[in-house]
Amino acid sequence: QVILEHPGCKPQLGSSASTDNPFDFNNVDMRLPMLVYISREKRLGYDNQKKAGAMNAMLRVSALLSNAPFIINFDCDHYINNSKALRAPMCFMLDPRDGQNTAFVQFPQRFDDVDPTDRYANHNRVFFDGTMLALNGLQGPSYLGTGTMFRRVTLYGMEPPRYRVENIKLVDNAHEFGNSTSFTNSMPDGAIQERSITPVLVDEGLITDLATLITCAYEDGSSWGRDIGWVYNIATEDVVTGFRIHRQGWRSMYCSMEPAAFRGTAPINLTERLYQVLRWSGGSLEVFFSHNNALIAGRRLHPLQRIAYFNMSTYPIVTVFILAYNFFPVMWLFSEQLYIQRPFGTYIAYLVAVIAMMHVIGMFEVKWAGITLLDWCRNEQFYLIAATGVYPTAVLYMALKLVTGKGMHFRLTSKQTEACSRDKFANLYTVRWVPLLIPTTAVLVVNVAAVGAAIGKAAAWGFSTDQARHVLLGMVFNVGTLMLLYPFALGIMGKRGKTPVILFVLLLMAIAAVGLLYVTLYAPYPQESLTFLSW
């Protein structure tokens, strides 16, 4: 209907106040804002830069159509869930105290169609409601790629007012923004947040300018994708874009509301979820080994904010040691010797005190952020799942990139499809075997075997011996690892994972089989047998 009957420029005024309606809309244009679909040019030989390139094209085109001082973006699989989602961030942007230095307002991500137990920590409440809220006390949360309202001029690379010498200074070199005069002339108006937006007159000249802004060659020789707009050539363009803004001295704000401002979909399949985390962790390592490293950022970045960004870019590296530690039980599966020195009592007391202190602090943070115990447990479980497979793989990819110079290719996350509409959790019970599952599966097998071997050793040596007690004490580590890998074990069982009892039965059978095998192979011979063999 809109295409057949093109709306005119004449405003459609609302009704006057009456007894039934106390509000007077007699001078208010009741038409909806202009909706524009942008299809940018894509050509062989040009890298379209995926989402970042599309967002930069939108940023330029919208400057000539509306030039609104604020921009809100959310992914194609998200939707507005709260009618106040556009009004709430304006309270931060227009705050007379320090609103003019606020670059963007970040909403936490909320998802539909996630299984009730949140097996793979899709909601990630510890990160969204804990870490991001805590960063609000520094320079603010990082940009998460969706559910964000931006101040337009921050994406142009403009400095915040607190560091700005002049009232407004956008363009040092117009060629950095491309060769469109209309676009560069629109920048000063985009910085005036108090002005009203009037629809532009769409004529042939404007259409020509708009077509120029979305061509493949427009960004050649410019600073788009580096110092202007969304950052290119990195898997986590959202985090790096937010980092560049914070590095200039801007701050951001965290905004959580009920009901949630935006909701979207998340991958509930184990393989797709791991691929998603692989892309995030690989992109984080790319940030660390680039000029966007937080350690070399300018002095405008808050010291604690610098540490937060440093942690965001290095967390996959430490998991290499976690993976190695989970494979240590292999050493005493086939040997009677202990290659690791038994800890002293003082060391054990110190270790228990440190771990207890960390968990007490974590519990206080969980309570402060309003996170449930189930959310915290799921976060701990999925961290070990990722630490034994995904994160070390990301480290390997990054090492290969540093050696060969070839970038990493990450597949896009596949979300729920219409084929699964009859059973919205069908993807949860679908097994897609990929090499990414092998390391965690190996850790699972090793620790199951270690528990069986520990029970077998204790049975062979006698449960009252000192060595058997040490073996059973060491089994606590293996049991804890199995508890954390419980969601992964359900995931690789496929449809059988709908009945967790099957998993427990299989685990007990595997442990018993390993224990009996160890007793059969390594149990000491009775004294009579030894005498007979000597004779």
Binding-site sequence positions: 50-51, 75
- Tokens 């951001």 found at: 252
Q: Please, what's the b/e burial string for 51-67 (b: 16 or more CB within 10 A of its CB; e: otherwise)?
A: bbbbbbbbbbbbbbbbb
Closest CA to 254 of 435, 131, 387, 364: 131
Cβ(276)–Cβ(155) below 8 Å? no
Name the 3-class secondary structure at 61: helix
Question: DSSP H helical segments within 222-302, as ranges?
Answer: 237-247, 270-288
Name the 3-class secondary structure at 148: strand
Q: Which two tokens stand for residue 445?
A: 């097998």
What 8-state DSSP symbol labels residue 42? -
Q: Which residues are annotated as a binding site for Mn(2+)?
A: 51, 75
Phi, psi dihedrals of residue 427, rounded to the nearest 5°: -65, -25
Distance between start and end Cα atoms, the chain: 103
What is the C-alpha to C-alpha distance for residues 432 and 172, in angstroms, rounded to an integer? 52
Q: Which two tokens stand for residue 310?
A: 């440093």
What is the C-alpha to C-alpha distance for residues 315 and 387, in angstroms, rounded to an integer? 10
Closest CA to 252 of 263, 260, 262, 241: 241
Q: CB atoms < 10 A from the CB of 171, how many?
A: 15
Closest CA to 326 of 514, 469, 477: 477
Distances (CA, A) of 173 to 57, 177, 221, 396: 20, 8, 12, 41
Tell me: cis bond preceding 259? Omega within 30 of 0 counts. yes
What 8-state DSSP symbol labels residue 266? -
Q: Collect all residues with Cβ–Cβ distance below 8 Å to 508 and sequence separation of at least 6.
A: none
Q: Collect all residues with Cβ–Cβ distance below 8 Å to 416 and sequence separation of at least 6.
A: 113, 265, 267, 268, 424, 427
Name the 3-class secondary structure at 173: coil
What is the C-alpha to C-alpha distance for residues 345 and 37, in angstroms, rounded to an integer? 68
What is the C-alpha to C-alpha distance for residues 106 and 61, in angstroms, rounded to an integer? 23
Q: Which residues are annotated as a binding site for UDP-alpha-D-glucose?
A: 50
What is the C-alpha to C-alpha distance for residues 125 and 41, in angstroms, rounded to an integer? 39
